[in-house]
Amino acid sequence: MSGALVPRAQSAHGSIDRIEVENFKSYKGAHTIGPFKKFTSVIGPNGSGKSNLMDAISFVLGVRSSQLRGTTFKDLIYTVDLADASESRRTARVTLAYVPEGEGEILFTRVIEASGATRFEVNNVRMTAEEYNERLKSYGILVKARNFLVYQGDIEAVAAKSPKELTTLIEQISGSDEYTERYAESERAKQRAED
Ligand code: ATP
Ligand code: MG
């Protein structure tokens, strides 16, 4: 792989400073979670919202709704006593304050609008999903590969994989699966040349 293709944060360690949630799942109103230390544990009784925090991180990093535990984005909006809620209370927002190594803080925000659609912002400037994803990628956060989150059951699932499935996983995490198409095309070109 040429140097230009390597995400710059692969050898660096960025960190999450804090997560700001508003009307997201069990979080009513606005809350700041953090600051996170180098190692942070979240503990609490069953149903207290530990996984909802994980969902908030997944959501703000652009994971699709089907990969979250709610089926649609609207399910992620805080629902208790919202019967007479104003328009603004039927929206939710998650902001991730990320600190790349040696750089200033950067705010990644994802909003669920009353319509159920979501929009993305970086430092409060609206972006398309693609632009947002590119920004994350530049910090080595490969959302599709989920290389930043380990869910319950993931370790077991990795241990149970066949060698071939493991190879696929490593290719996903390293990002080399993006070159599958190019590789196959080159392979065909080589075959044609040899013929
Ligand atoms: P466990 O230890 O069982 O895994 P947990 O701490 O991970 O529990 P979560 O799954 O994060 O718990 O939180 C579940 C709680 O979140 C439930 O009480 C559920 O009612 C509440 N909840 C989920 N979605 C919403 C929502 N949209 N509005 C309000 N509350 C919600
Ligand atoms: Mg849980």
Q: Is the CB of 172 under 6 A from ligand 1?
A: no
| Residue count of the chain | 195
Question: Residue 30 in contact with residue 22, Cβ under 8 Å?
Answer: yes
CB 5 within 8 A of CB 89: no
Residue type, 192: R
Looking at per-residue pLDDT, the higher value among 56 and 68 belongs to 56
Outline where the chain has alpha helix (H).
Answer: 50-60, 129-138, 154-159, 163-174, 180-194
User: Best substitution site from 22, 24, 25 to test ligand 1's pocket, by max atoms within 8 Å of Cβ?
Assistant: 25
pLDDT at 3: 39
Residue 154: which pLDDT band, with cuts at 50, 70 and 90? confident
Tell me, what DSSP letter sits at residue 45?
Answer: S
Q: What angle do CA 117, 122, 127 make, to 5 degrees?
A: 50
Please say if the pLDDT value at position 169 is more than 50: yes
Ligand 1 close to Cβ of residue 174 (< 6 A): no
Give me the mean pLDDT over the 150-163 stretch: 86
pLDDT digits (tens, 9 = 90+) for 68-92: 776 788 888 888 765 555 555 689 9
The residue nearest atom 14 of ligand 1, judged by CA position, is: 47
E-state strands within 83-170: 92-99, 106-112, 118-122, 125-127
Q: Does ligand 1 come within 6 angstroms of the Cβ of 26?
A: yes
* Atom 9 of ligand 1, residue of closest alpha carbon: 49
Rounded distance, CA 54 to CA 148, Å?
Answer: 11
The share of the chain scoring above pLDDT 90, in percent, equals 46
pLDDT one-digit tens code per residue, 14-47: 889 999 999 999 999 999 998 999 888 889 999 8
| Sign of the alpha-carbon torsion through 81, 52, 70, 99 | positive
Distance from chain centroid for Cα 60:
6
Residue 105 contacts residue 98 (beta carbons within 8 Å):
yes
Tens of pLDDT, residue by residue over 182-193, are: 999 999 999 999
* 120 CA from centroid of ligand 1 (Å): 24
Whether 2 shows a pLDDT value over 70: the answer reads no
User: Which of ligand 1's atoms lies nearest the C-alpha of 54?
Assistant: 11
* Strands, sheet with 106-112, edge to edge from the N-terminal-most edge strand: 27-33, 15-24, 92-99, 106-112, 118-122, 125-127
CB of 49 within 6 A of ligand 1: the answer is yes
Residue nearest to atom 28 of ligand 1 (CA): 78
Mean pLDDT, rounded, for 103-124: 94
